[in-house]
A and B are shown apart, each in its own frame.
Chain A
Amino acid sequence: METNLVIEGFKFMGLGMGTVFLFLIILIVMMNFMSTIVNKFFPEPQPNETTRANTQNKNKKVVAAVTAAIKHHRS
């Protein structure tokens, strides 16, 4: 009997997509698990609040300036 290549192709597809998704789903579970563990037991030292707020303010200012510049450029 002649082998039906199209059916072979679909078999490849099933196996291939199955493996890709299996791999990535396990990876997602592992990533979530790993992140939980790392953040619980080995948290990074947080920069103190005031500097953070400062940089955020600065960022906002930068964003505002950039947006204004873009608007000006486009008008």
Chain B
Amino acid sequence: MKLFVLKLLALLFISFGTLHASAAPVSAESMSAHQEETYQTKPFSEMVGGFLKSTGVNAILNPDPNEVGAHGEEMSDFHKSWGRVLMILVTFLLFYLAIKKGFEPLLLLPIAFGGLLANIPVANIAGAHGFLGVIYNMGLSNEMFPILIFMGVGAMTDFGPLLSNPKTALLGGAAQFGIFGTLVGAVALSQMGFVDFTLQQASAISIIGGADGPTSIFIATKLAPELLGAIAVASYSYMAMVPIIQPPIMKALTTDAERKIKMTTLRHVSRLEKLVFPVMVLVLAIAVLPASTPLIGAFMFGNFLKESGVVERLNDTLQNALINTVTIFLGLGVGSKLAANEFLVPDTMFIMALGIVAFSVGTASGVIMAKIMNLFPGHKVNPLIGSAGVSAVPMAARVSNKVGMEYDRTNMLLMHAMGPNVAGVIGSAVAAGVLISLFQ
């Protein structure tokens, strides 16, 4: 052993002495010599002590001063120690909500578990080389996963109810007021000095009002990636709470007579109409707002495959295998943003508060829009379907149906509410396009 090291040193000496020696072999040799030297036999007690220092308990009790966050940023001692414990408890709460309360478990469970993994000390799973970090960089930082989800959602969407009663699309438009109303609210809050949101951050938060998970994630990664975790969690948990948030607002804004309005039966929509529709929307998007075409294009691609009726296999993959696979990755990737140093900040609280305001304003403006439409001649619209203008397909439509049935058992609003519901998806994609185009 000693002989070998001595030989190496002699070689080094010679190569330093030689004028023509190149630099590369020198560094390689000195490296290997260094590696030989670092491993020394240690007494067992020291080994145990070293191992104990690498445990999670020690990492939480004595935060490592040199540790940095997933993106190389400074972390406070709180975020390295008890903040992590607190976040792990938060993910347990999310587990409870997803499993016991049925809050959008398909996404909330992967998100929560990703959050749990992201808060593990030492392992650095959410870092650039941890698997959560890899997933994040693979499909979230470049906005890929939300787009893929949109394809699957497109393949699951039936535009029939909208095509048979086109004017209900206005309800889906009105509900986007939730987005822009909240935008004003968020910038007003920062103007008053409560928080410090930039216009980009405020826009990313307000898109929660569109009640559209993939759109929220798309916009958040584009405009304010640092807020992604909070925005996604707010967005999905409020979407899950649609049946709790919406009915009181709907009931407060309508009279008994309005809630009992019966709508005319939907006419039959031919296959050709359904086939032309996605292309038509895309052409319109190209003409009016190309910035919205990534979202609308993916959405309409999925829908076009479905309505074409000749690619059943692709349609099936989009609706099932692809969307399920991407949902797992999307959830875990978003979960990586639940690391304590990114989530346990005062901003999160404001995002949660603004999110619920966005939802409520969207619901209310949809209902009010339906009432305005009833002032004009023509077939009356039951204002209860206005609330379905917030996307949240098909939850919001089901809520309209349920509230309608409470007042008149024979009043089936489900299919009528699907019209504004899918128009809401288009509406929030357009709103997202406007926000993107404003910041380009």
Chain A residues in the interface with B (C-beta under 8 A): 4-6, 8-10, 12-13, 15-17, 19-28, 30-32, 34-35, 38-39, 42-44, 70
Interface residue? B56 (CB, 8 A)? no
Min CB gap A50→B, angstroms: 18
Q: Say whether B199 contacts A8, CB under 8 Å.
A: yes
Q: Give the chain B neighbours of A44 by CB distance below 8 A.
A: 270-272
Q: How many residues of B contact A (CB 8 A)?
A: 46
Q: Say whether B199 contacts A21, CB under 8 Å.
A: no
12 CB-based A-B contacts, threshold 8 Å: A5-B190, A9-B186, A12-B199, A13-B180, A13-B181, A15-B438, A19-B430, A20-B427, A24-B169, A34-B273, A38-B276, A42-B272
Closest 5 CB pairs of A and B: A13-B180, A9-B184, A5-B187, A9-B187, A31-B166
In the bound complex, what is the Cα–Cα distance between A30 and B426 (angstroms)? 15
From A39, which residue of chain B is reached at the shortest CB distance? B270
Q: Give the chain A neighbours of B273 by CB distance below 8 A.
A: 34-35, 38-39
Interface residues of B, dominant DSSP: helix
Q: Say whether B180 contacts A12, CB under 8 Å.
A: yes
In the bound complex, what is the Cα–Cα distance between A16 and B170 (angstroms)? 14
Min CB gap A28→B, angstroms: 4
Q: Give the chain B neighbours of A24 by CB distance below 8 A.
A: 169-170, 172-173, 423, 426-427, 430
In the bound complex, what is the Cα–Cα distance between A68 and B177 (angstroms)? 42
Q: Give the chain A neighbours of B272 by CB distance below 8 A.
A: 38, 42, 44
In the bound complex, what is the Cα–Cα distance between A27 and B168 (angstroms)? 11
From B273, which residue of chain A is reached at the shortest CB distance? A38
Q: Say whether A17 contacts B166, CB under 8 Å.
A: no
Interface residue? B237 (CB, 8 A)? no
Q: Give the chain B neighbours of A43 by CB distance below 8 A.
A: 270
Q: Give the chain A neighbours of B190 by CB distance below 8 A.
A: 5
7 A-B pairs besides A15-B438, A16-B179, A42-B272 with CB distance below 8 A are A6-B187, A16-B435, A19-B433, A27-B284, A30-B280, A39-B273, A43-B270
Q: Say whether A10 contacts B277, CB under 8 Å.
A: no
From B169, which residue of chain A is reached at the shortest CB distance? A24
From A25, which residue of chain B is reached at the shortest CB distance? B170
Q: Give the chain B neighbours of A9 by CB distance below 8 A.
A: 180, 183-184, 186-188, 199, 202
Q: Say whether A38 contacts B270, CB under 8 Å.
A: yes
